Copies of this chain bind each other. A is one copy, B any other.
Amino acid sequence: MTTIQVGCDLTYSVTKPTSFLFNVAAARTGYQIISQENLQLNPNIKYVTSSLGTEDIQVYRLTVEPCDLQLQYRAIVDLSPEIYDTSGIVEAGYSQLPNEVLPYLNPSRYCESDRLTHFVLRMFGNVQPGFSRVTAICDWINCNLDYQAGSTGESTSACDVLIGRVGVCRDYAHLAIALCRALCIPARYISGYAVALQPPDFHGFFEAYLGSRWYLFDATRMAPVEGFVRIGTGRDAADASFATIIGEATLTTMAVWAEQTAPNPLLNQTVPQSAVSTTG
């Protein structure tokens, strides 16, 4: 078990009556126990905490009049990822895939897997199926994309990234998800906190469904997956925005962090051949 302190401070200049949905809280799962948690809003507005979807996502919903809105979120998360030997992890045949996993094979707004079927067959069709094939996809993306803050935007999709060869974490995840789906491997987008991410920010990564469970992957390789604290889960980043804003508000300041508090040096000892799962 690893204990991780996560948090974020967000400030908005709200210029019209505005509804917010914040998706910044650590998800409650069997692998991720929240031992302390605190949400502070200033002004002290009433908000509703709700669970979204079937993946234990917790969101805050609120509506405010014009003001300077400050949100402070703090949590202490006990993380118990399951670690597997990668060598035995195979791809499930389509007929073995559970029903609830099937939607994650479909193309989505930012992951146009339907346009990439020929591409993946050429590039990854002959790669050994299983964990190693998703790793090969991550390797390829990591080698062929440049990480560059500000290089892409909200409408950038996996196909755009495949052409442009530059992006940020969400773009890396989108391309990986699209390539997995085109190979008939269910894949989905995860937003979260990440220990040791530089510069600190919300992180976007993904899960692929192999054998009979979801495994965490990060094609950016910017932080160890053992230190990922899950916030949102979705088909792509469209489902996991940290803030959905209906009205008129501008983000003025933002700070995000995730720090391992115990046991100290664990995350540095990442075993390369280990597969990490935090969903059943």
Contacts and interface: CB of A to CB of B under 8 A. Distances in A.
Interface in A39-66: 50-53, 59, 61-63
Nearest to A103: B239
A112 to B, nearest CB: 6
A14 B163 CA distance: 28
Interface in A129-168: 144, 146, 154-155, 159, 162-166
Copies of this protein, total: 4
A88 interface: no
B159 A163 contact: yes
A99 B51 contact: yes
Contacts of A146: 118, 122
Contact of A109 (B50, B63, B99, B114): B114
Contacts of A103: 53, 234, 239
Interface string A101-115: 011001111011011
Contact of A165 (B53, B99, B122, B144): B122
Contacts of A102: 21, 52
Contacts of A38: none
A1 interface: no
B155 A116 contact: no
A84 interface: no
Nearest to A151: B118
A263 interface: no
Interface string A150-188: 000011000100111110000000000000000010000
A215 to B, nearest CB: 21
Interface of A: 19, 21, 50-53, 59, 61-63, 93-95, 99, 102-103, 106-109, 111-112, 114-116, 118-119, 122, 144, 146, 154-155, 159, 162-166, 184, 234-235, 238-239, 246
